[in-house]
Chain A
């Protein structure tokens, strides 16, 4: 179950600017190595893929493993090329996806 996602990206930028984009998504990232109170291992449940596209073109992709902390935070950079939409999507191991978008105006 992928929870709410927070995006921190500039709303406006000059063409050619290098923008930092910060993302945070709510997820337990259960590693599968912990033992629960009943003595049974807690099943693995992690987000495996994160993709950012800029007007449909992929600009950043990450493959996550259980060694990523709960509520994955990822920040990265991209160049402001044109006005449009940044689309962020997280996919967990069961195939469930959360998509979040951010609009950007490039002058």
Chain B
């Protein structure tokens, strides 16, 4: 009797573990992008080129009170001559609903590889800027930004 009770408990425990495992494996599509989605977006934008750190400076406030409008500047160390210039700059995020933020196309006539805009941030996350050079090389910079009030989820004014 004791043995039966024991084994039943074991069976129930095992069933519980299985059920718990099954629950954990139920996948719900997240409302936010994931780092994998960001990697896919990066590959869609720049192809298979390897991305090296450096030459790019992504300027964002490290602590953001309101994610609805965050000033953001990207500057790239480049002479911007006819043969050595920045072709494109892309900004990506990890946790907004979509991984892309902005993609800009430059030409040697820009004179300076630098632009500014204002972006939305839905959560505390990493932001990455990638610059594509005329010779095909890609350089990046990333920054971790803490957001206290998120964008995209707030209720609109009635």
Contact = CB atoms under 8 A, between A and B. Distances in A.
Interface of A: 18-19, 31, 33-37, 42, 54, 57-70, 72-79, 81
Q: Which of B70, B103, B158 has the most CB of A within 10 A?
A: B103
B109 A74 contact: no
Interface stretch (B3-11, B16-24, B116-124, B134-142): B116-124
Q: Which of A36, A66, A69, A70 has the most CB of B within 10 A?
A: A69
B156 A78 contact: no
B120 A68 contact: yes
27 contacts: A18-B112, A19-B111, A31-B120, A31-B152, A33-B31, A33-B153, A34-B156, A37-B155, A59-B109, A60-B105, A63-B102, A63-B104, A65-B101, A67-B96, A67-B98, A67-B121, A68-B118, A69-B120, A70-B69, A72-B118, A74-B116, A74-B117, A76-B106, A76-B110, A76-B115, A78-B110, A79-B109
Given A67-B100, A75-B115, A79-B109, 5 more contacts: A54-B109, A65-B100, A69-B151, A75-B117, A77-B112
Contacts of A69: 68-70, 117-120, 151
Contact of B102 (A34, A35, A59, A62): A62
B100 to A, nearest CB: 4
B128 interface: no
A75 B116 contact: yes
B105 to A, nearest CB: 4
B156 A37 contact: yes
A62 B105 contact: yes
B113 to A, nearest CB: 8
